[in-house]
Amino acid sequence: MAKKPSFFDRLTGTQYEDNFDSFEEETPSHVEVKSAAQPAHTEVAHEEQGEAQLTVDVYQNEDEIVIRALVAGVRPDDLDVSITRDLVTIAGKRIEQKEVTEEDYVYRELFWGAFSRSIVLPAEIDVDAAIANEKHGLLTITLPKLTKDRQTKLKVKGT
């Protein structure tokens, strides 16, 4: 029975023979396998819609949250970045240039097609002050955090 390809298999276009049961059997005992799994609350998958999930790095400091993603091969105009105070969605599409026939490929590992990723943010952000830059295929989104401690005094006007 053929095994359903994993997300990674679909992303890279890798095809495996059905002559082994799992990755663990093929891993030498001296190799340490580390999981890169994220907490379930930090992402919303779009695989059900036939899109690949964009890989991202997300980090924060006291003032801002930064999201980085490799988007090589995608024009900045073809990227759609939607943000709310607590969610960022990045979507786009890599369009393959049909210069080579299928049978001429020796390796085929690059992903072509639609991708997206939604990230639940660890803090509320100032949507109007967010900045997105792309340089050499690296998308960097800088999201200033809202300061909840900030106070302001209101003058009460009489009627």
pLDDT tens across 71-111, in order? Answer: 988 888 889 999 998 999 999 998 877 888 888 888 887 78
In the predicted structure, residue 118 carries a pLDDT above the cut 90: yes
Query: Tokens representing 39?
Result: 């907490």
pLDDT tens across 133-147, in order? Answer: 999 999 999 999 987
114: region left, alpha or beta (phi > 0 left; psi from -120 to 50 alpha): beta
User: pTM of the entire structure?
Assistant: 0.61
* 8 Å CB contact between 95 and 75: no
Domains of the chain (ranges; CATH) run 38-144 (2.60.40.790)
